[in-house]
Amino acid sequence: MIFLNRSYEIKSFKNKKEAEELLKKSRKSIDEIDNQLFDLISQRTALAKDIASSKEYLEIPIFDKSREKVIHDKIRRLSEEKGLDVDIINQIVDMLTILNKNAQKEILRRNVDGKY
User: What is the span of the domain harbouring residue 84?
Assistant: 14-111
- Tell me the C-alpha to C-alpha distance, in Å, between residue 59 and each of 36, 44, 51, 70, 113: 34, 22, 12, 21, 18
As a whole number of angstroms, the distance between CA 104 and CA 52 comes to 5
In a domain, 88, yes or no: yes
For the cut 80, the answer to whether the pLDDT of residue 39 exceeds it is yes
In a domain, 27, yes or no: yes
The answer to whether 110 and 116 are in contact (CB under 8 A) is yes
In a domain, 3, yes or no: no
In a domain, 8, yes or no: no
Look up the CATH number of the domain holding residue 61: 1.20.59.10
In a domain, 54, yes or no: yes
What pLDDT score was predicted for residue 115?
Answer: 55
CA angle 61, 66, 67 (to 5 degrees): 75
For the cut 60, the answer to whether the pLDDT of residue 7 exceeds it is no
In a domain, 6, yes or no: no
In a domain, 102, yes or no: yes
pTM of the model: 0.73
In this predicted model, what pLDDT tens digit does every residue of 40-99 receive, in sequence order? 999 999 998 888 889 889 988 888 889 889 999 999 999 999 999 999 999 999 999 999
Q: What is the number of domains present in the chain?
A: 1
In a domain, 4, yes or no: no
